[in-house]
Chains A and B, each alone.
Chain A
Amino acid sequence: MSFEVFAGKFTGKNPDYVKMGSKYFLAGPLLVALSKQLGHSIVSLGLFLGEEKAGKFMPSLALLEILSVASEEKVFVNGIGEIDFLYNKGLKSRHIVAVKGSSKEGFMKLIQNEHDENLGYGKISRELGSDKAEIANLLDRGDFIRREKD
């Protein structure tokens, strides 16, 4: 899945990006021009949006946050759901307070807390709307802590 296909699953408007190797960044013309005058090993240019690994696009949490502003594919969770999700767990029906967009199995959803702040994203593993609803955790902001420990 490419960057465009991934972003297109959540919103019709893709953020502009700059590609450096396998990595994608949100960077304005000023940063791009500046980068050409540095002449040194640039490892990050603006905001990191994600990376292609083995032909698959892996989004960053910053990208999910950007997409969540305009997306119609969101699931809102309660406080317990927020904590569980940030601990890298999946979501059950008891965590879900509202759904925007599709409820069908296999769809990817942005996971939002009650303040409409993005917590990450997941994939519907059991159709939403029933008491058996489930969403698998694909990436959550608790990853910021887990990365530091690696």
Chain B
Amino acid sequence: MEPNTFTQRYLELGGKAPLFELPESIRVNTAKITAEELIERLWQKGVHLEKIPFVKNGFYVRQSRMSVSALQEHLQGFYYIHEAASQIPAEVLNPGKTDLVLDCCAAPGGKTTQMALNAKAVVALESQHNRVPALINNIERLGIKNIIVCNTDARMFEPEIKFDKILVDAPCSGNYITDTRWFRKQKLENFKQRSALQKEILANIVNCLSDEGELVYSTCSLEPEEDEMVIDWAIKSLGMKAVEISCLGDKGIISPFGEELDKGVENCRRLWPFKAKTQGFFIAKLVRA
């Protein structure tokens, strides 16, 4: 589709799509080092970090003479190169020491390893065989000991147990901030296909949630078909309820393109890049109604 088509779509949703360069950001792996120690270590190497105000252990890389992916501290697993908005879903899910967590679409493992720091254990599902090595490498590099990885499609997952917290960071069409050719590559049909997949994942995965459990659904898409409309469907078809969350972002859109969605969808959060200065993102928290 032409960029203008999206500009029009986003205007209708109350947004816009100016281009800007996403600042590089990292998340401190507190299993291995404190934020203060890492700031000092990297400062000595000419790398200047600035706290991301809306996440606990995230920092923008404000100055660096070399790629932060090549630094010894990265190889030691002291941090994970992690986009700022992408650090939010794990914080919204906020697992505690007694929580058994399911991460449905886990590779490359940024959110998985983030949740594992506080959880009792994390079961990480990844359906794509070729994405599993990156997930296991990151677990090894960060030295995280409480993650089980299954090469399994979340739509087919039928364990004997229930989970206290579930993250569905769903496969999505992405957004224009992280892919300069995004506008040219996307069609409305893609969003509908992704939406169908996202609903299939949710339909199966809610069966794995304990009665009092919480499920966070997130995408890096700005398209309502993959965001608010999926949550509206989960409310109406799966007996779920979207609960209020407090994090960066605008309220969910309840009347996209003239369609009226459940009012609870407003409890979701939508991160427009032009406002949040992050990539496009969407986050919802669901519980049983």
Contact = CB atoms under 8 A, between A and B. Distances in A.
A68 to B, nearest CB: 12
B159 A147 contact: no
Indicate the size class of the contact surface on chain B. 20 to 34
B289 interface: no
A108 interface: no
Contacts of B143: 47, 62, 65
Given A37-B159, A62-B140, A145-B75, A31 B146 contact: yes
A38 to B, nearest CB: 5
Contact of A37 (B134, B141, B149, B160): B160
Interface string A113-133: 100010100000000000000
Nearest to A30: B121
Interface string B149-188: 1111000011111000000000000000000000000000
Contacts of A38: 123, 148, 150, 159-161
Contacts of B75: 86, 141-142, 144-145
A40 B141 contact: no
Contacts, number: 94
Nearest to A117: B76
B72 interface: yes
A147 B136 CA distance: 11
B70 A44 contact: no
Nearest to B108: A148
Contact of A148 (B121, B125, B137, B140): B137
B144 interface: yes
Most buried by A among B69, B100, B137: B137
B145 A47 contact: yes
Contact of B148 (A35, A82, A86): A35
**Interface SS, B side:** mixed
A144 B137 contact: yes
Nearest to B138: A144
B136 A48 contact: yes
A28 B146 CA distance: 8
A34 interface: yes
B147 interface: yes
Interface string B112-140: 00000000110101000000111111011
Nearest to A79: B72
A34 B144 CA distance: 17
B143 to A, nearest CB: 6
A48 B139 contact: yes
A110 interface: no
A103 interface: no
A112 B146 CA distance: 26
B134 A31 contact: no
A46 interface: yes
Interface in B50-106: 69-70, 72, 75-76, 100
Nearest to A118: B76
Given A30-B120, A144-B137, A145-B70, A39 B159 contact: yes
A43 interface: yes
A61 interface: yes
B69 A40 contact: no
Interface string A22-36: 000011101100110
B136 A43 contact: yes
Interface of B: 69-70, 72, 75-76, 100, 120-121, 123, 125, 132-137, 139-141, 143-152, 157-161
Given A31-B121, A34-B123, A47-B143, 13 more contacts: A26-B145, A30-B121, A30-B146, A38-B148, A40-B157, A40-B159, A43-B150, A46-B145, A86-B75, A117-B76, A119-B72, A141-B75, A148-B134
Interface of A: 26-28, 30-31, 34-35, 37-48, 60-62, 65, 82-83, 86, 113, 117, 119, 141-142, 144-145, 147-148
Q: Which 3 A-B pairs have the closest CB atoms?
A: A44-B149, A141-B75, A37-B160
